Amino acid sequence: MTSDVQGPTWTNWVGNQSFSPSAMIEVTSEAEIAALVARAAAQGMGVRTFGTGHSFTPIIETAGLLLDTQRLRGVIEIDAARQQATALPKTTVGDFGEPLWEAGLALANQGDIDTQAIAGAIATGTHGSGNHLPSFSATLLGARFVDGLGNLVTVSETENADVLPALQTSIGLLGLMTRMTIKVIPAYNLHARTATLPFGEVIERFAEFAANNRSFSFFWMPSDESAALYCLDNGKRDDCAIRFFNAATPDIPRDNLPANERIDRAYRIYPMQYDPNFHEMEYFLPLEAATDILHEMRKLMFRWLPLSVYPLEIRTVAQDNAWMSPNYGRDNLVVSVSGKPSDDYWGYLRACDALFAEFKGRPHWGKLHFMTADRLDRLFPRYEDFLKMRRRFDPKGTFLNAHTRALFE
């Protein structure tokens, strides 16, 4: 069964991307997706799908067919012995928590938002923080997807294994994922601790904090008004609101913890509250240049106040082997900057982009960026290999739109 609604309008979670496809169809099965893609490809019509709309870029936009996979949600198989979990594309990051916990398992890491659909989180390189913890893309072990001609493709250790590094961060350009198998780990509790420290001390101790904690991240406040914009409790101008996450060992007393500490199941610790009042750009930069980058960003953001009033979010991510992953072949510092929706913030974001370019910054595919095909060719060693793989599975460009065609045709 399909439900065909003519003339819909799709809008992302913060409202900076909105478009009207020719039709939006709610699908209920893998076979249905394959049939619709085959028909659209024969008619020369574009096809896209969406998760929960957490991307700030126009990667979803299409004048053709938009597929709604909301009924394809849930963790459908857990293999505790092999530490693997298989899920449908609309399964959110948060959906994994309870069923994995009941099986004695957990996601190895998460970001501070857990409402993204897993297919989109994998396709765009979504991540948490930790020197030794890679993004969701790196956890993908295998999948099934519908290619640009409507064929069902299986990727596993024994079938189409050569496709995996392209699929792991595919931006939805090889095909529409219908199920994914990811690597998970034994269940664990986290001991979370927050602190507010001045910028100078955090930078002086950055390497120490990053090396000695399972996960270390912080928000730097360029003004006294910054903290409230991200629902942060503390932080004045030039302060850093820090989050330390470590495994909760049995020797840590759980009663009468200080107000700035928590111990709980990992999936309950990671998420934090955000109001959708910002538009975000995020780049990945070589970790060894972290202190230089942070000093330069501080100076830049002070120059651009009040446009730069939102907190600067800083995390680290481990390297992986996914061809279009911003973490391909190197450990990264992740720098996230935001603009206020009602402001003309593009000059500020372009100034940030120019600084990031000096350090060979690579973009998060779901966040605002200023990439061109030439820049991607310089920044990603396997860019040409990815283009060949994209053309192999989508020879007609069914999954391309104006935004991605300029980068990946």
The CATH number that applies at residue 102 is 3.30.465.10
Helix runs in 260-325, H state only: 266-269, 290-303
Verify that 259 and 324 share a domain, yes or no: yes
Of 37, 68, 99, the last residue of a domain is 68
Both 290 and 248 in a single domain?
A: yes
DSSP conformation class of 162: G
Residues linked to residue 26 through DSSP beta bridges, in sequence order: 3, 68
The dihedral built from the CA positions of residue 160, 161, 165 and 169, taken in this order, carries a sign that is positive
Give the pLDDT confidence score for residue 1 in this predicted structure: 36
What is the domain-level CATH number for residue 362?
A: 3.30.70.2520
Position 253 scores a pLDDT of: 75
Do 64 and 93 lie in a common domain? Answer: no
228 and 356 co-located in one domain: yes
Same-domain check for residues 339 and 211: yes
- Shared-domain flag, residues 28 and 119: no
Collapse the DSSP code of 142 into the 3-class scheme (helix H, G, I; strand E, B; otherwise coil) and give the result.
strand
Torsion of CA 165, 169, 173, 179, to 10 degrees: 90
Per-residue CA distances from 149 to 30, 176, 180, 370, 401 (Å): 14, 11, 20, 30, 16
92 with 145, same domain?
A: yes
For residue 51, the cross-strand partners are none
DSSP 360: T
Looking at the fold, whether 208 and 351 belong to one and the same domain comes out as: yes
- Residue 118: what pLDDT? 97
Ranges of the chain whose pLDDT falls below 70: 1-7
Q: What is the phi-psi region of residue 238: left when phi exceeds 0, alpha when psi lies from -120 to 50, beta otherwise?
A: left
- Rounded CA separation 182/107 (Å): 9
Instruction: Tell me the residue range of the domain where 359 lies.
Output: 189-373
Q: Look at residue 7 in the predicted model and tell me its pLDDT.
A: 62
Which of 51, 68, 85 delimits the end of a domain?
68
Cα–Cα nearest to 298, from 409, 290, 129: 290
Question: Pairing state of beta strands 65-68 and 23-26?
Answer: parallel
Distance CA 269, CA 111 (A): 10
Distance between CA atoms of 72 and 214, rounded to whole angstroms? 33
Those residues with Cβ within 8 angstroms of residue 369's Cβ, 6 or more apart along the chain or in another chain? 57, 281, 283, 353, 363
**Region label for 234, one of left (φ > 0), alpha (ψ between -120 and 50) or beta (otherwise):** beta
Question: Do 167 and 231 have their domain in common?
Answer: no
